[in-house]
Structures are given as structure tokens and as C-alpha cells.
Structure 1
């Protein structure tokens, strides 16, 4: 895929690389259009097992394209809320589809992840960072509220009080603090980041796609639903898994001390 987002494949793993160094991988019109197309393609791939999202040039994403926003203001293209709501709906549409991929989404964050770029990082199931990564919900500095689904994701990752502090101050969180806060799972040297993300993605490939999809769906609701609702989801999902050909084959291979082997059905 040409433009702002490069999509390549390593067997059943998709690597998404934001690649607009001039804008520090801002979410330009090109980048957004590429994400929309990528989500259409990924949701249709039956052999997909994991996705790694990263940025190029030592930058994850600077977030919203502020230069383009200013140009629209100067051109009189943003005269009221009705001019913005459609753009927000488009942003939410593809971020929701990224978040809801039925496979693991690993975000490999090298350099700044700011504004909506921070929200994009938090859409991941697992966040890995280089030691030069940094995070900022800096919306207050440009007279905006957090977007990119951060109102949902950030309090669930770092807690409500810390999320409010980051929203209210717009300050920068460096990699080591991000690790302490539980915002990222691991921190490493920049050159080790993508290999580690791909290694982790490969570790997640030898599983039942059905079981993983159901696990991700239920886990995403773990902090919203009460225990009884989660037990009901667990029972329904397990009834699907334990009656599947995946399960029968898997326990046979486990009993025979053979490695797991799942097809893409």
C-alpha cells in the first residue's frame, strides 16, 4: 500500500507502518484513508493471526494534522460543530475497527505518540516501547478535548486519577514512567523493538482463531460488566470452543506431546 501507511506481511502477521516522516506520522488525510482501506482488507483476511502497528523514522505518531486543521480554519471550512462531527465519525470508525480486530494487536512505539497518536497506541492489546518513546495527551494545549478513544482506554490502563492528571496537564510521559504506570508492558532499545514485537506476534499464532477472537471480545468487557455477565459470556464462548474441531485436535496433539497446529478456518 502506498501513501501514509505501509502494509506488509510476514506469513500470517500483518505489519502496519506509518510512514510520513515529514509530518511525523500525523493522521493526515492520506494516513486516514490508508487506515480505512487497511481495516477493510484485514477484516477480510481469514489467515490473519496477528497485527503489529508501528511508526517510521523514530516517531510513532504526532497525532492530528495541526497544519491541515489551521488551513481548514483559514479557508473557512470549519465554521461550526457540524463541520467537525463527520470527521470525528470517520476517525472513530477506523479506530474502532482497528481495536476490534479479532487477532492480537501489538503496538511497537518508538519515539513520540502524542494526541490522537497516543489514542492510536492505546488501541493495542499489548504496548511495547523503545527507551526513547514518549506519550502525551496534549489536547488541552491546543484547546481541544482528548480523542482517539482515550477517554475509554487511558483510564482503564493507568487508572482514572492518573488519566485525569495527564488530560489536565498535557505533560509528556517518558518511557520509564510509562512502564511504571503500566502504560507499556516492556521497554527496550529502539533496534530491539520491532524484532520483539514480531517475536511476540509469532508466539500468538499457534492458537485457535475462534478461541482467540472470543477471548479478546470477553476480555475487552472485563472492566465494564459485572461478574454474572462475564460468567455468562465465558460459558457461551467455552461451549463454542469445547465443541469445535480445534479443541478435539488440540487435546489429542497435547496428549501426544506434539506442538499445537491450527488451520485458518
Structure 2
């Protein structure tokens, strides 16, 4: 069986991690499948949105700790030089997923722990079931946060709260996750995936070019000053307002027709 189920519904791609027996831990097979899927999505003009979720009531339990222990016992970890290539591979596809020019919605049911939390926070929107839970428990196994959490978590919850989560490794409930900004909405487990697919469909109703530019600029909005953002805004708007899509949308708006979404 595949570690990752990939299905398409129109322009929406659903990525479902499918190793619930290991709590969808990031095994070599699952990481390879995610890497392949994300590389396939990159540059695919038919993709308009991505929904990432888990299975069996689990989003992702993070790193494969049993495999890590086995590697140590087998003498496969001699020093930092043995770990760096693995981190580089992880960061490679995580970066591609984070930077896809289409909406990425993560539907979290059950645990999103460790690197699984980092994976969830690559999404533009995080939806959670009422039995979802989140933690950054790296400190409990003598590790530092990874999967881009040093960047993403402080921007979601603030530096003080991120440090508290890093330092304690405590578990955050779905209700608290919504309150502190990790999850945007909380639903029942049964309603979670339909809500994610509904939201993804809503987000495809826009110019792909305008969406890609909006996503790219907002990704930098907390790092740049106002003047730099004004420059990016002017450049992006110049591209959009001179596009065929914009002209067609204006024409259809004035005629009280719905916009078209089949060209850029």
C-alpha cells in the first residue's frame, strides 16, 4: 500500500498520509512519497488548490523515532555529517510545499506532533477537528525544533508562546490551538475534510496569477518594512491590472456575469 494517497477533484489535489499504524510518522517511505507528490505539483498548471490531511484519526506524529533509535544502534549515526543530508532533503520538499503558488489547506485530525506540527504549519490555512492536538516535543528527545518551526510557529502564536511550547513540549488542544492562532477553525472529525475541500474550492475562484502574487507577498509581510511592501504591491498590481484576466473580469462584472477562472 502507498504511504500517501493522492486524489484529484477538479483542480483540487488531496494528499492523505496513509500510515495510521505508525501514526503517520515521517517514515522514509512517507517522506519519499511526499517529496515526489510535491515535486509533481510544482509547476502543474492544472492544480488550483491542495488539501493535506492524515488518516485513522492522526495527522502526523512527526519523526520516526523507532527508526532513529535503530539507526543509532546500528552505528549509522556517527556525527552531524550523517544527519545534514537528511535535513536537507526534508527541507527541500517542505520548502516547495510551503511555496506552492496555490492555496494549501492542512486538515488536522488527531495529533500533529513534532515535525508533524511543522508540516501542518506549511499550510496557508490550518483547520482542526475537535480531537486534534499539537505539540513541539523535540526537547523531550534531546532535539531542537525542525520542519521550519523556528520560522513558522513564532509567526503563528508570537515569540513568547512559541518559546513556551518549545521549552515545555506540552500538548495544545484544538480549542487552545484556535485561541492562540494555530488553527483557524475547529470542526467535528466528520466535518473536517468536507470543510477543507469546500474552502479549497472557494479559493480557486480567483485569478491564479493574482493569488500566486498575493501568497508570495504575504509570506514576506512580517519580514519587510512598509516601503518594501509598497514596492512589491505596485509591481504585483501592475502585472494584474494589465492582464487579460483582469480585462475579462471587468467586462463580465459590468455585464453582471460571474467571472471566469479558466485562464490567467
| TM-score by shorter chain over 0.5 | yes
Q: Determine the structure 2 residue equivalent to 1:116.
A: 115
Q: Determine the structure 2 residue equivalent to 1:191.
A: 190
SS of the aligned residue for 2:260 comes to coil
Kindly provide the CA deviation profile for residues 114-153 of structure 1, in whole angstroms up to 9, marking residues without a partner as x. 0000000000000000000000000000000000000000
Give the CA deviation at 1:35.
Answer: 1.0
CA distance in 2, matches of 1:138, 1:188: 25
Contact kept? 1:47, 1:264, Cα under 8 Å: no
Q: Determine the structure 1 residue equivalent to 2:92.
A: 93
The correspondence of residues 76-155 of structure 1 with structure 2, limited to 5 A, is 76-155=75-154
Q: Determine the structure 2 residue equivalent to 1:242.
A: 241
Unaligned runs of 5+ in 2: none
Give the CA deviation at 1:264.
Answer: 4.2
Give the CA deviation at 1:5.
Answer: 1.1
Q: Determine the structure 1 residue equivalent to 2:19.
A: 20
Q: Determine the structure 2 residue equivalent to 1:230.
A: 229
Kindly provide the CA deviation profile for residues 144-196 of structure 1, in whole angstroms up to 9, marking residues without a partner as x. 00000000000000000000000000000000000110111000100000000
SS of the aligned residue for 2:106 comes to strand
CA distance in 2, matches of 1:66, 1:256: 60
Runs of 4+ in 1 over 2 A off after TM superposition: none
Give the CA deviation at 1:44.
Answer: 2.9
Q: Determine the structure 2 residue equivalent to 1:42.
A: 41
SS of the aligned residue for 2:42 comes to helix
SS of the aligned residue for 1:44 comes to coil
CA distance in 2, matches of 1:191, 1:257: 37
Q: Determine the structure 1 residue equivalent to 2:67.
A: 68
Answering whether residue 196 of structure 2 is matched by residue 209 of structure 1, we say no
CA distance in 2, matches of 1:264, 1:42: 18
Q: What is the TM-score when the length of structure 1 is the normalising length?
A: 0.98
CA distance in 2, matches of 1:191, 1:264: 34
SS of the aligned residue for 2:146 comes to coil
CA distance in 1, matches of 2:205, 2:170: 40
Contact kept? 2:58, 2:112, Cα under 8 Å: yes
Give the CA deviation at 1:252.
Answer: 1.0
Q: Determine the structure 1 residue equivalent to 2:52.
A: 53
Give the CA deviation at 1:254.
Answer: 1.3
Contact kept? 2:245, 2:263, Cα under 8 Å: no
Q: What is the TM-score when the length of structure 2 is the normalising length?
A: 0.99
Give the CA deviation at 1:30.
Answer: 0.4
CA distance in 2, matches of 1:52, 1:174: 22
What is the count of residue pairs matched by the alignment? 264
Please give the root-mean-square deviation of Cα atoms over the aligned residues, in Å.
0.8
Contact kept? 1:46, 1:264, Cα under 8 Å: no
Give the CA deviation at 1:106.
Answer: 0.3
